Amino acid sequence: MTDNNNIRIKDIAKLAGVSVGTVDRVIHKRGKVSEEVKEKIEKVLSETGYKPNLLARTLGSKKGIKIAVIMPNPEQDEYWALAFTGITQSLEDWSQYNLQIDNHFFDLFDSSSFREAAENALSQTPDGLVCAPIFHKETLEFFSQQNQDNIPYVLCNTFIKELSPISFIGQDLYQSGRLAGELISIGGTDKSHVAILHIQENIENSMHLKAKEQGLRDILEPKYEISSHDIKKMDPALIREQIEQILIDENLGGIFVSTSSALHEVASILENMGRSDIRLIGYDLLEKNLSYLKRGVINFLINQNPKRMTLTGIGHLSNHLLFQKELPENELFPLEIISRENMETYLNSRIH
């Protein structure tokens, strides 16, 4: 084995003619050091290229870390169930650092439940927060008012320009829409209409979906005529009705469903009507989506990678808390194209 011939704090102390305590104070800016001594130590520090042993640091400051997660209830939605698997796995990945994760789930249909979950999270004084800010207004309120202790937080899934988390993790939604447009038009179609379906719990929070829409429009217009439809996710029968309405259009060549949710409803209708002439593009490796992808009813899925999202979120936060590592301000995942022929390779890989 390699012997550890690194420069240690002790060496720095000797070189600077001071004690380790003083060096430690300089390194951590704990004050109470004369300017003169401070400068000398800093000089030695940079000359030797001192790098702390993070193992020893973590061990010495007998800290573990406690992270609170605020996200939609995984039982309510398969997308968030996938996201939750990332939480589970990060617990394993970071097990050696005695990491504790407290989950606080909220109801996708109920914005007040978000407040509750968030306040609960805070009340347990976590060292950091990972949050999926589904409800724009409530999130804003929470992070600008409640979080006065300045607990570091990471935001996942939805970008919120008014906030400054230590890191945002998600995807470029505009580009995602462009990609969807490209995927619809590959090889060309003879039909010239394309419909965008925004199907979700609360239509108020659909701003980010409009970014996807714009991307698609910029690719397909004016060659294609685009129509956009906001559909509130409630009664499946009601959704069906609205979709069937849209399908009356004989000239419809493609449908883009902007969220993973309820894509399978659309697929089911298309399949039942035998409309294999319509290209269908949507999001995420949900079970039902995959089965329609396999049967060719859905042509492509774009993977938003919810598992990797939470995994990376916890990872970044842990690195920040434990090792003071610098994080990317934005971690934008690639837009993964899933087709019938590569879906298994995604399912089989450790992170998907």
Instruction: For residue 212, give the 3-state DSSP assignment.
Output: helix
Q: Footprint of DNA on residues 34-53 (CB under 7 A)?
A: 34, 36-38, 52-53
Q: Per rule CB under 7 A, is residue 25 in the interface with DNA?
A: yes
For 332, the enclosing helix (H) or strand (E) is strand 330-332
Which of a copy of itself, DNA, none does residue 147 bind to, with CB < 5 to 8 Å depending on kind?
none
From 171, 200, 261, 304, residue interacting with a copy of itself (rule: CB under 8 A): 171
E-strand ranges in 188-324 read 193-200, 225-232, 252-257, 279-283, 300-303
Residue 169: strand, helix, or coil: strand
Window 33 to 52, contacts with a copy of itself (CB under 8 A): 51
- Of 41-49, 158-166, 172-180, 253-261: span binding a copy of itself (CB under 8 A): 172-180
Q: How near is the Cβ of 319 to DNA at its closest, in Å? A: 15
Find where tokens 């003071």 sit: 324
CB 65 within 8 A of CB 97: yes
Is the four-CA dihedral 113, 78, 333, 349 of positive or negative sign? Answer: positive
Here the tokens at position 256 are 């883009």
Q: How far apart are CA 290 and CA 221, in angstroms?
A: 29
Tell me the window of 20-28, 130-138, 225-233, 239-247 that interacts with DNA (CB under 7 A).
Answer: 20-28
56 interacts with DNA by CB under 7 A: yes
- In the bound complex, what is the minimum distance in angstroms from residue 123's beta carbon to DNA? 24
Q: Of 7, 81, 97, 225, which lies in the binding site for a copy of itself, with binding defined by CB under 8 A?
A: 97
Give φ, ψ of 147 to 5 degrees: -80, 60
Please, which residue, 207 or 351, has the CB nearer to a copy of itself? 351
Q: In the beta sheet, which residues pair with residue 101? A: 67
HSE at residue 228, side-chain half, CA atoms within 13 A, is: 15
145 binds, among DNA, a copy of itself, none (CB under 5 to 8 A by kind): none
346 touching a copy of itself, by CB under 8 A: yes
Binding pattern to a copy of itself, positions 295-324, x when CB under 8 A?
----------------------------x-
Binding partner selected for residue 201 from DNA, a copy of itself, none, CB under the kind-specific 5 to 8 Å limit: none
Nearer of residues 231 and 285 to a copy of itself, judged by Cβ: 285
End-to-end alpha carbon distance in the chain: 36
* Residue nearer to DNA on the CB measure, 36 or 162: 36
339 binds DNA, rule: CB under 7 A? no
Block residue for tokens 């399912």: 347
Give me the least distance between CB of 167 and a copy of itself, in Å please. Answer: 11
The two tokens of residue 329 are: 């301000």
Interaction partner, residue 25 (DNA, a copy of itself, none; CB < 5-8 Å by kind): DNA
CA dihedral in degrees (115, 118, 124, 130; nearest 10)? 180
How many residues bind a copy of itself, per CB under 8 A? Answer: 56
Which residues neighbour 33 within 8 Å (Cβ) at sequence distance 6 or greater? Answer: 22, 25, 26, 41
**According to CB under 7 A, which one of 33, 87, 216, 281 is a site residue for DNA?**
33
Residue that has been written with the tokens 């005695």 in this structure: 98
In sequence order, what are the beta bridge partners of 170?
Answer: 332
Tracing tokens 């899925």 back to the chain, one arrives at 301
232 binds DNA (CB under 7 A): no
Query: Contact with a copy of itself (CB under 8 A): which of 34, 46, 95, 150?
Result: 95
The Cα 352–Cα 343 span in angstroms is 10
Binding site for DNA (CB under 7 A): 4, 6, 8-10, 17-22, 24-25, 27-28, 31-34, 36-38, 52-53, 56-57, 59-63
Binding site for a copy of itself (CB under 8 A): 1-4, 6, 51, 53-56, 58-59, 62-66, 95-98, 100, 127, 171-172, 175, 178-179, 181-183, 186-188, 219, 323, 328, 331-342, 344-346, 348-350, 352
